[in-house]
């Protein structure tokens, strides 16, 4: 477990999502990265049922339940700007029991699937973000394994990302800011994914409403 | 928005439909020693393990008449152990052939920010207590003998006083639904504890 | 009296005694008979002179007359009362009274017959004691009392004997109970129905072997009381399952070459067991033996299961009671399960050398490993914390909330099997043995330099170490250049030099041998270097690995050149592991007579230069070893001052 940065790469002009992913992976392979199977991160959205009296002040609060193939026995439950609870997979069973209170917005299920690459101490996961049937974007996750303090290795990571992402290299993730010198945890990765997937979902919704 | 096709959920899972079988009883403080002694003889060859736990009951009120109840429990005496979040369904007394109280149960191990998260979800804490006692094991059966302590200052688990002069004795096991025969084993075990303690299926609805 | 009920009427003579009263029970109380004078007075009173009968009877005149007569007579009698006034007086009196009686009887009968006024009931009468002969009676009563006494005595005797028997029974019962108590202290028992069953399996210690391991406790109390109780008699006996009877062990051996396939699985080796004492052995011994058989069975079944599951380059073979694996090429590890039941005939240990091959260490380690395995299964099911949490390994519970990644989860699940471990241990043992043999054979073959091995006493099952010193006899103190630490592992040997260099050798025997040979050859050169220091010679050049001269097949030749303190002479030594040593001496030019006078070296000073080398015929040198010879040579070349 190391420090991870999750970012998005825009689809290259005149190319499909698939082609852009292929371009990226080719670059990585040229660098000498080794393919190591696949990965998948998914995110389900729950809204508190409108009838819930519990917290009338925030009626539209959304809860996200996420899974990552990197952590196959874990389940991550988070609120936007809120805490992230890490549990075992029985949490999914609990959410079924909570059906009357939290409703699963099935249509909002979004996930990122792709290939996992290892390049020396770096793990790179390039995934296609899909929501429903169609691909919506590309996620790039870069993990630097030997380090657990985010600020200590950010520059190194950035340098590495520049080598294959070029101008699309992201800025410092917001979760790093709050971390200071404390230990980076898998929850921080999932928060980044949650933010990224939310962003992609909102873009999609804006564009689809804009098209109408 | 178009209906999404069913994608195979990658890693979701968990054990669905587990049932907790439960028998309860109590002993006075003075007969605790003899009960522990008996249990040491009956249970698997492991020394009974002492524990100190802090349990909080969380309620989520919806439009339904009965609130949704979750129990959050953590170990006080052992560090670095996940919190335990537990959902327990409506107890079924069942007929005479079933020798234990049965209820649906979901056991979840969680990170230690559970309280914060449950409050964020809209739950509120109903009550809390500290339980000190011993755990025994016999096969898949678990025997917990513990004393319940009232927490005098909310959240401060050091400032506690015993609730009664007796110990709670619980014989329980968790098994997949539909295996009612396991309760026979519990019954015969409970038989062996007589007359030190009488373990019965106690309907919590009757108590309220 | 024909038709009526048979009423018995007893007619008796008038009693002399008069009835005073009749009790409610019908008993009559009699009056004391009157005395003569009283009787007379009474009779006198009864005389009714006025004859007042005049009654019911249609009585005949005669009777009336009779009465009159009677009256008269009575009158006379009473008046005169002179006995024997008339000779028939007493007759007449008797007749009269008889008549009276008869009349009364008649009246009574009449009244009774009428049943109007009176009925007759039988009067209960005290039965008369049977009239027996008092002698017979005495005899009978004596007999009776004697019989009673005898009865009591018999009963007492019976009770006594019963209580004695009971005592004995009780004692045996008590013995049984105390034995049972002792049994209970060491073994798990439970009562099923009217049987007492015990558990000799290792299940409570964490074993997962499916054998039930039940034994039955038998009460052994019905022995013949008449016979002498044998000394080792025990009222408690145990019945162990038939498949756990006898004795068993696991035989582990390493063999050089594979035996015929036909021999596989037929190993049935038994040390002749120590002759067991006659009679049934004590339950404790029986149970322990059975438990041992059970454990051996478990070990073997675990090993065979793993042998089948584990994929290795050379598959493990499981045949009947034998598992064969190839740890190193050409080497065979065989693990066999030997079980003898008592009733079977012992098979003669057919292969003597294989019995000697038995690696007791590995057998012991197998037992140790299975117990570790048991402990692991026990501890893996640790008690949950908090108490409400489900059972399961703690690390598995942590996996979710601490977001373990795949590697961490793999490390949770991975565990080496028994077979893998024992094969590794066997490999290590084999490697260690072979290393020892290699060093020993070198030491015995080569006298100069000497090779010493110091084995460490404390080893790990997978690693042991040996310190190898190469010295020259008599020069141990000055020639300590080569000290090697050999760490013998499972597959390879790591050699650590004194200066910290590390060389890794494979399990091949030849590698170690070659390495040691090259080290020995280097040692000689090192020894010369050390000697030179002591002798005050100067080292001109030194090389462990000469790049010149003939190529050695093993390692490299090493060489040294030293100059005498004055610088006049120099000695050059080249030592190769294969070619052996070659020693050359260089003389000053001045001493070389045969050297052609050169035109170049005109000046006398050039004579101080050293001339050509000459080889020393080393084997003709005196001295018991190389270093000694060298010392002599150096001494010879050092001018005495």
State how far residue A108 is from chain B, nearest Cα, in angstroms: 9
Name beta bridge partners: B59. Answer: B69, B124
B146 to chain C nearest CA, in Å? 10
Chain A residue with minimal CA distance to C398? A88
Q: What is the pLDDT of residue C477?
A: 83
Buried b (16+ CB within 10 A) or exposed e, C159-172: eeeeeeeeeeeeeb
Query: Which of A87, A185, A187 is the closest to C400 by Cβ?
Result: A87
A105 vs B3, which has greater pLDDT? Answer: A105
Q: Which residues of chain C carry a pLDDT beneath 70?
A: 1-5, 10-17, 49-85, 118, 120, 123-132, 221-232, 257-281, 341-356, 379-381, 414, 592-602, 607-608, 640-641
Which pLDDT score is estimated for C46? Answer: 80
Q: Cα(C546)–Cα(C525) distance, rounded to whole angstroms?
A: 12
Query: C189 near C198, Cβ under 8 Å?
Result: yes
How many contacts does A have with B, using Cβ atoms within 8 A? 124
> Residue B195, preceding bond cis, omega within 30 degrees?
yes
B chain contacts of residue A72, beta-carbon cutoff 8 Å: 11
* Mean pLDDT of chain B, nearest integer: 84
Check: CB of residue C610 under 8 Å from CB of residue C568: yes
**Over the stretch A148-165, which tens digit does the pLDDT of each residue have?**
888 888 999 999 999 888
pLDDT tier for residue A206 given thresholds of 50, 70 and 90: low
Q: Does A86 touch chain C (CB under 8 A)?
A: yes
Q: Cβ of B51 under 8 Å from any chain C Cβ?
A: yes
- Shortest Cα–Cα distance, B103 to chain A (Å): 13
CB-CB contact of C189 with C196 (8 Å)? yes
> Which of B2, B6, B13, B64 to mutate against chain A (most A CBs within 10 Å)?
B13
Enumerate the residues of chain B whose CB falls inside 8 A of the CB of residue C378. 45-46
Of A71, A75, A87, the CB nearest to C404: A71
Kindly list the domain boundaries of chain C, sorted by start residue.
Answer: 189-258+280-343+358-379, 421-516, 522-593+606-637
Contacts of A185 in chain B (CB under 8 A): none
pLDDT of residue A129: 93
> Is the CB of A86 less than 8 angstroms away from the CB of C406?
no
A126 within some domain: yes
C-alpha–C-alpha distance, residues A207 and A134, integer Å: 14
HSE on the CB side for C636, CA within 13 Å?
A: 13
Partners of B81 on chain C (C-beta within 8 Å) are: 385-386, 394, 397-398
Is there a contact between B11 and A79 if contact means CB atoms under 8 Å apart? Answer: no
Buried b / exposed e over A94-131, threshold 16 CB at 10 Å, is bbeebeebbebeeebbbbbbbbbbbbeebbbbbbbbbb
Asked if residue A212 is part of any domain, the answer here is no
Give the containing element (helix H, strand E) for C238.
Answer: strand C236-239
Split into its structural domains, chain A has a count of 1
Contact B62 A53 (CB under 8 A): yes
What counts of helices (H) and strands (E) characterise chain A? 5, 8
Chain C CB contacts of B109 below 8 Å: 389, 397-398, 400-401
Read off the pLDDT of residues B132-187 as tens digits, 9 standing for 90 and up.
999 998 888 999 999 999 999 888 888 899 999 999 999 999 988 878 788 888 99
Are B81 and C397 an interchain contact pair (Cβ–Cβ within 8 Å)?
yes
B131 forms beta bridges with B53, B148
User: What domains, with CATH codes, occur in chain B?
Assistant: 18-202 (2.40.320.10)
Q: What's the rounded Cα separation, in Å, for the pair C39 and C603? A: 209
Instruction: Give the C-alpha separation, B23 to B143, whole Å.
Output: 10
Are the CB atoms for C472 and C450 separated by under 8 Å?
A: yes
Taking CA–CA distances from A46, the nearest residue in chain B reads B121
What per-residue confidence (pLDDT) applies to B165? 93
Give me the residue from A54, A63, A93 closest to B60, CB to CB. A54
Shortest CA distance to C406 belongs to which of A32, A183, A84, A145?
A145
Range of the domain at A188: 4-51+59-207
**Minimal-distance CA residue of chain A relative to B87:** A94
Give the count of beta carbons closer than 10 Å to the beta carbon of residue C33.
Answer: 11
Where residue A51 falls among pLDDT bands split at 50, 70, 90? Answer: very low
Contact call for A1 and C405, based on CB within 8 A? yes
Number of H helices, E strands in chain B: 4, 9
C-alpha torsion angle, residues A86, A90, A92, A94 (rounded to 10): -100
Rounded Cα–Cα distance for residues C16 and C2 (Å) = 33
**Averaged over B103-131, what is the pLDDT?**
91
- Is the Cβ pair B109, C400 closer than 8 Å? yes
Measured between beta carbons, which residues in chain B are less than 8 angstroms from residue A132? 1-5
Per DSSP, the three-state class of A78 is strand
Contact between chains at A87 and C406 (C-beta distance less than 8 A)? no
Contact (CB<8Å) B111/A42: no
Query: What are chain A's partners, defined as 3 or more CB pairs within 8 angstroms?
Result: B, C
> Is A85 in contact with B109 (Cβ distance < 8 A)?
no
Is B71 near chain C, with CB under 8 Å? yes
Q: Where are the beta strands (DSSP E) in C363-496?
A: 450-455, 464-471, 482-488, 493-496
User: Nearest-CA distance from B106 to chain A in Å?
Assistant: 7
**Residue C434 Cα, gap to closest chain B Cα (Å):** 44
Q: What is the pLDDT of residue A210?
A: 45
Question: Contact A72/B11, CB-based, under 8 Å?
Answer: yes
- Find chain B residues with C-beta within 8 A of C204's C-beta: 44-45
Instruction: Return the residue in B4, B8, B59, B115 with the most chain A beta carbons within 10 A, the one to mutate for interface testing.
Output: B4
Q: Is residue A133 part of a domain?
A: yes
Q: Number of CB pairs < 8 Å for A and C?
A: 37
* Minimum CA–CA partner of A106 in chain B: B4
Nearest CA in chain A to B66: A100
pLDDT of residue A212: 44
Q: Say how far apart CA C407 and CA A121 lie, in whole Å.
A: 15
Q: B162, B149 in Cβ contact below 8 A?
A: yes
- Interface contacts (B, C; CB < 8 Å): 73
Q: pLDDT tens for residues A54-68?
A: 444 455 678 999 999
- Do residues A193 and A66 lie in contact, with contact meaning Cβ atoms separated by under 8 Å? yes
**The complex's ipTM?**
0.86
Alpha helices in C81-133 (DSSP H): 89-114
C307 min Cα distance to partner chain A (Å): 31
Mutate to test the interface with C, among B84, B107, B147 (most CBs of C within 10 A): B84
Hey, is the C-beta of B82 within 8 angstroms of any chain C C-beta?
Answer: yes
pTM of the model: 0.58
Smallest CA–CA distance, residue A32 to chain C, in Å, is 22
Question: Which pLDDT tens digit goes with each residue over A109-142?
Answer: 999 999 999 998 999 999 999 988 888 899 999 9
> Do C388 and B45 lie within an 8 Å CB cutoff?
no
């Amino acid at each position: 477990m190391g420090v991870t940065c999750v970012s998005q790469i825009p689809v290259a002009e005149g190319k499909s999502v698939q082609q852009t992913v292929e371009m990226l992976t080719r670059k990585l392979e040229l660098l000498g990265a080794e393919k190591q199977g696949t990965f998948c991160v998914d995110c389900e959205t729950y809204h508190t049922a409108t009838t819930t009296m519990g917290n009338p002040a925030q009626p539209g609060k959304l809860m996200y339940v996420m899974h990552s193939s990197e952590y196959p026995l874990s389940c991550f439950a988070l609120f936007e700007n809120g805490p992230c609870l890490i549990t075992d997979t029985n949490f999914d069973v609990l959410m079924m029991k909570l059906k009357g209170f939290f409703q699963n917005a099935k249509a909002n299920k979004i996930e990122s699937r792709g290939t996992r690459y290892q390049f020396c101490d770096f793990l790179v996961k390039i995934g296609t973000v899909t929501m429903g049937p169609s691909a919506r974007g590309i996620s790039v996750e870069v993990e630097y394994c030997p380090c657990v303090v985010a600020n200590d290795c950010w520059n190194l990571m950035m340098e590495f990302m520049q080598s294959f992402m070029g101008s699309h290299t992201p800025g410092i993730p917001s979760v790093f800011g709050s971390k200071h010198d404390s230990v980076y945890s898998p929850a921080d990765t999932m928060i980044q994914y949650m933010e990224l997937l939310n962003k992609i979902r909102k873009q999609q919704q804006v564009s689809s409403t804009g098209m109408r | 928005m178009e209906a999404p096709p069913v994608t195979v959920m990658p890693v979701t899972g968990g054990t669905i439909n587990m049932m907790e079988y439960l028998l309860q009883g109590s002993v006075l403080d003075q007969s605790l020693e003899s009960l522990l002694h008996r249990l040491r003889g009956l249970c698997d060859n492991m020394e009974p393990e002492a524990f100190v736990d802090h349990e909080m009951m969380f309620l989520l009120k919806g439009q339904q008449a009965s609130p949704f109840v979750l129990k959050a429990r953590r170990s006080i005496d052992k560090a670095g152990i996940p919190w335990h979040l537990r959902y327990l369904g409506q107890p079924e007394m069942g007929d005479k052939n079933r020798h234990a109280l049965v209820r649906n149960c979901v056991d979840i191990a969680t990170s230690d920010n559970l309280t914060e998260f449950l409050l964020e979800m809209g739950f509120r804490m109903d009550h809390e207590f500290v339980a000190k006692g011993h755990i025994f094991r016999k096969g898949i059966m678990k025997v917990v003998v513990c004393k319940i302590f009232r927490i005098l200052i909310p959240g401060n688990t050091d400032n506690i006083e015993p609730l009664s002069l007796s110990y709670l004795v619980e014989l329980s096991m968790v098994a997949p639904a539909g295996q009612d025969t396991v309760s026979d084993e519990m019954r015969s075990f409970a038989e062996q504890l007589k007359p030190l303690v009488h373990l019965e299926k106690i309907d919590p609805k009757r108590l309220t | 009296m024909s038709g009526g009920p048979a009423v018995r009427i007893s007619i008796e003579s008038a009693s002399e005694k008069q009835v005073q009263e009749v009790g409610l029970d019908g008993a009559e109380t009699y009056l004391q008979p009157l005395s003569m004078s009283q009787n007379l007075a009474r009779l006198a009173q009864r005389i009714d002179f006025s004859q007042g009968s005049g009654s019911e009877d249609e009585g005949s005149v005669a009777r009336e007359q009779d009465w009159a007569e009677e009256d008269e007579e009575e009158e006379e009698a009473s008046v005169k009362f002179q006995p024997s006034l008339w000779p028939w007086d007493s007759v007449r009196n008797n007749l009269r009274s008889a008549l009276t009686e008869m009349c009364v009887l008649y009246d009574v009968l009449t009244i009774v017959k009428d049943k109007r006024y009176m009925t007759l009931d039988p009067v209960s009468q005290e039965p008369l004691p049977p009239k027996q002969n008092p002698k017979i009676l005495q005899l009978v009563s004596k007999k009776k009392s004697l019989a009673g006494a005898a009865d009591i005595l018999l009963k007492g005797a019976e009770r006594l004997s019963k209580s004695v028997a009971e005592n004995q029974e009780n004692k045996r019962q008590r013995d049984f109970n105390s034995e049972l108590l002792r049994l209970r202290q060491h073994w798990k028992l439970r009562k099923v129905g009217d049987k007492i069953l015990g558990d000799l399996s290792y299940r409570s210690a964490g074993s997962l072997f499916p054998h039930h391991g039940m034994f039955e406790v038998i009460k052994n109390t019905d022995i013949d009381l008449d016979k002498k109780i044998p000394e080792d008699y025990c009222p408690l006996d145990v019945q162990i399952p038939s498949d756990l009877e006898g004795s068993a062990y696991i035989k582990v051996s390493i063999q050089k070459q594979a035996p015929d396939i036909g021999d596989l699985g037929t190993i049935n080796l038994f040390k002749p067991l120590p002759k067991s004492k006659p009679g049934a052995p004590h339950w404790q011994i029986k149970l322990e033996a059975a438990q041992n058989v059970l454990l051996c069975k478990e070990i073997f079944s675990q090993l065979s299961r793993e042998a089948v599951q584990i994929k290795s380059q050379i598959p493990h073979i499981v045949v009947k009671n034998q598992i064969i694996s190839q740890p190193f090429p050409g080497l065979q590890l065989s693990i066999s399960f030997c079980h003898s039941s008592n009733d079977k005939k012992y098979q003669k240990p057919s292969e003597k050398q294989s019995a000697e091959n038995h690696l007791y260490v590995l057998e012991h380690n197998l037992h140790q490993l299975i117990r570790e395995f048991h402990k692991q299964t026990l501890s893996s099911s640790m008690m949950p914390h908090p108490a409400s949490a489900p059972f399961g390994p703690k690390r598995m519970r942590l996996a979710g909330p601490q977001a373990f990644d795949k590697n961490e989860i793999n490390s949770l699940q991975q565990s080496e099997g028994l077979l893998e471990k024992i094969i590794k241990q066997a490999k290590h043992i084999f490697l260690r043995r072979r290393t020892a043999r290699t060093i020993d054979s070198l030491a015995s073959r080569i006298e100069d330099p000497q090779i010493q091995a110091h084995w460490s006493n404390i080893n790990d099952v997978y690693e042991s170490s040996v310190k190898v010193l190469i010295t020259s006899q008599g020069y141990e103190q000055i020639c300590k250049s080569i000290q090697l630490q050999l760490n013998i592992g499972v597959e390879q040997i790591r050699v650590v030099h004194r200066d910290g260099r590390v060389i890794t050798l494979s399990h091949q025997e030849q590698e170690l041998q070659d390495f040691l040979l090259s080290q020995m050859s280097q040692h000689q050169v090192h020894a010369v270097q050390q000697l030179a220091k002591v002798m005050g010679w100067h080292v001109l050049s030194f090389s462990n690995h000469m790049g010149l001269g003939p190529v050695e097949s093993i390692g490299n030749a090493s060489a040294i050149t030293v100059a005498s303190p004055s610088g006049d002479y120099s000695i050059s030594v080249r030592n190769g592991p294969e070619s052996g040593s070659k020693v050359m001496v260089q003389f000053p030019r001045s001493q070389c007579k045969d050297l052609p006078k050169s035109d170049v070296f005109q000046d006398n000073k050039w004579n101080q230069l050293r001339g050509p080398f000459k080889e020393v015929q080393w084997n003709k040198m005196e001295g018991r070893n190389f270093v000694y010879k060298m010392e002599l040579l150096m001494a010879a070349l050092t001018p005495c001052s």
